[in-house]
Amino acid sequence: MATQQKSSSIDPKSGFCSKTKTFHSLRPRSQPPPQTTPLSLTDYLLSRLHHSPPLPSTPALLDAATGHHILYPEFIFRVRTLAASLQSQLGLSHGQCAFVLSPNSLHLPILHLSLLSLGVIVSPSNPASSNPEVSHQISICRPTVAFATTATAHKIPNSLRLGTILLDSAEFESMMMTYPSSAESLRTEVSQSDTATILYSSGTTGRVKGVEFTHRNWIWMMAGIRAVRNASAPHAVCLCTVPFFHSYGFAYCFIVLLTGNTLAFTGRFDLKVMMRSIERFRITEVACAPPVVVALVKHGDINVMDGYDLSSLQVIGCGGAPLAKSVIEKLRERLPHVQISQGYGMTEMTGRVCGPVGPEETRVQGANGRLTSDIEVKIVEPETGSALPPLMHGEIWVRGPYVMKGYVGDEDATATTLDSEGWLKTGDICYIDNEGFLYFVDRTKELIKYKGYQVAPAELEDLLHSHPDIVDAAVIPYPDEEAGQAPMAFVVRSHGSAIDESQIKDFIAKQVAPYKKIRRVAFINAIPKNVQGKVLRKELIKLALSKL
């Protein structure tokens, strides 16, 4: 394996530099285009397809539930035609923002790439978000236009200058298929330093923030994929069960299309649909979150995979939240020929910055693979701030070209997360072994990971505190076999109140997306706090586990 560093102070196995106390990637260097070259993410992706074109009969996009597909020549035509239509008919222009509220569909990758080619900022959101959540996100990204479906459009305010375009309308279909003659003379120059996307994350704590990435961030991420990819690898059919608005799903779309493979997808997850899709379309790779893997193995002695031909499946990639070792072991027992690839990353880093490559690395028990190309990492002792050597546990800090530009309109949150030297403080406790493999240990941050989605306790606590029958409240993660973690509330009732668990659950459910719902409630006389008034969540977690 090629090394990026020639310094004798860098260990060729772990990548640890004894002088700087920094871990370096041991992957081959990526080769992105010069930073001064005007280039959008879309132009970069399409130029790679032009350089190494897939066969014209290769599907670019495949709806695994219906079998509908779009071949690569038509896919490229639709991207360019839609971009021309959006520019000439709607007047969309460089620097404006488009808010996207839709479940996975054949249209989304085409829409995203069309917008990006114009220098329009893409801001996708969870279609299950509540009206207040959508309003908050729109206040962050300040879009000119929204793209939604008939089922989600009612959540978009009427104040957007160019209104809302329905993705499931004849109008939108026409915009993709009829190239406007008036667009021939229109040209758009996009700088790599321009903002490309605003994704949503709660960061380490607090309310949802807009994570800003440039075209350069995404181009470099894709160049890193090309650096480790086997150019002679056979065509793959890759099934994405992850939502395209999630950083994992958003990045995965680009990766699959960049390499000329087929991007298959599902809408709402259904285990049987996934099994049938793998058999019918000879799926070679599945990208999923931990609940999907749990669903495959949780049925005890009953193997839910029986009766399906899964011989084509080579890789199951898992991300979004940690996957329990016991679950990985069970899956390996049932699919011994399949590589289980669990990476590490977060929204603020365009997704994955660490992952296994090839069968040997995926066999390393409990590891999240090695650092991706061009990445540096420090393992920092949280109390002292000192950098630690291999095998020592500490907070992982990441630096490199994949790291976000910052949080939109939130300088304080950006300064808390990104230091002056470009190090992103993740809030996760990890260690790197002597072979350069990263192991996730725990999270210092307070976020709850429910089925791979981030749930901020502070957001739910604010809502609980707004209820007249609640004096105080705290929200903690409660272990859940299927979801990983579930939000649980400890509540102090006001004097004389008889509010019960179901009323509290209903109160929250009406105001948040389904994945943020409170799943358990316990009543308590007082919330334990330290002298500074900070909630002692560890005490509440111990109490929850002992009582329930």
Question: Based on the number of CB atoms within 10 Å of its own CB, is 231 exposed (0-12), middle (13-18) or buried (19 or more)?
Answer: exposed
pLDDT value, residue 481: 80
Confidence of residue 384 (pLDDT cuts 50, 70, 90): confident
Cβ count near 90 (within 10 Å):
17
Cα 420 off chain centre by:
25
pLDDT value, residue 253: 96
pLDDT at position 301 over 60: no
Domain residue spans in the chain?
Answer: 6-37+366-445, 448-547
- Cα–Cα distance between 129 and 330 in angstroms, integer? 34
Q: Is 37 helix (H, G, I), strand (E, B) or coil?
A: coil
- Cα–Cα distance between 57 and 50 in angstroms, integer? 15
Q: Is 521 helix (H, G, I), strand (E, B) or coil?
A: strand
Question: Based on the number of CB atoms within 10 Å of its own CB, is 526 exposed (0-12), middle (13-18) or buried (19 or more)?
Answer: exposed
pLDDT value, residue 4: 43
Which residue type does 117 have? Answer: S
Give the helix, strand, coil percentages of the chain, each rounded to 5. 30, 25, 45
Q: Over the stretch 435-477, which tens digit does the pLDDT of each residue have?
A: 999 998 876 667 788 888 878 787 898 899 889 899 889 999 9
pLDDT value, residue 305: 85
Task: Please name every residue paired with 260 in a beta bridge, in sequence order, or none if there are none.
Answer: none
Length of the chain as a residue count:
548
Mean pLDDT, all residues of the chain: 91
Percent of the chain with pLDDT over 90: 70
* Element holding 474 (H helix, E strand): strand 470-480
Q: Over the stretch 324-363, which tens digit does the pLDDT of each residue have?
A: 777 888 888 889 999 999 999 989 999 789 999 999 999 9
pLDDT at position 3 over 60: no
pLDDT value, residue 31: 93
* Element holding 397 (H helix, E strand): strand 394-399
The DSSP-derived string for 104-173 is: S-THHHHHHHHHHHTTPEEEEE-TT--HHHHHHHHHHH--SEEEE-TTTGGGS-TT-TT-EEETTSHHHH
- Cα–Cα distance between 315 and 318 in angstroms, integer? 10
Confidence of residue 230 (pLDDT cuts 50, 70, 90): confident
Task: Please name every residue paired with 354 in a beta bridge, in sequence order, or none if there are none.
Answer: 344, 371
Cβ count near 354 (within 10 Å):
26
Written in H, E and C, the secondary structure of 426-465 is EEEEEEECCCCCEEEEEECCCCEEECCEEECHHHHHHHHH
Tell which CATH classification among 2.50.20.10, 2.60.290.11, 2.30.38.10, 3.30.1180.10 matches the domain 6-37+366-445.
2.30.38.10
- Cα–Cα distance between 369 and 228 in angstroms, integer? 13
Q: Does domain 448-547 have CATH number 3.90.180.10?
A: no
| Cα–Cα nearest to 380, from 15, 21, 18 | 21
| Cα–Cα nearest to 511, from 441, 476, 459 | 459
| Cα–Cα nearest to 499, from 511, 486, 512, 508 | 508
For 494, phi then psi, to 5°, come to -70, 160
pLDDT at position 200 over 60: yes
pLDDT value, residue 2: 40
- Cα–Cα distance between 7 and 523 in angstroms, integer? 58
pLDDT value, residue 396: 96
Ramachandran sector of residue 495 (left: φ over 0; alpha: ψ -120 to 50; beta: rest): beta
Percent of the chain with pLDDT over 70: 95
pLDDT value, residue 203: 62
Structure tokens at 183: 């667009």
Written in H, E and C, the secondary structure of 178-200 is CCCHHHCCCCCCCCCCCEEEEEE
Mean pLDDT is lowest, of 21-25, 149-153, 318-322, 410-414, for 318-322
Cβ count near 517 (within 10 Å):
18
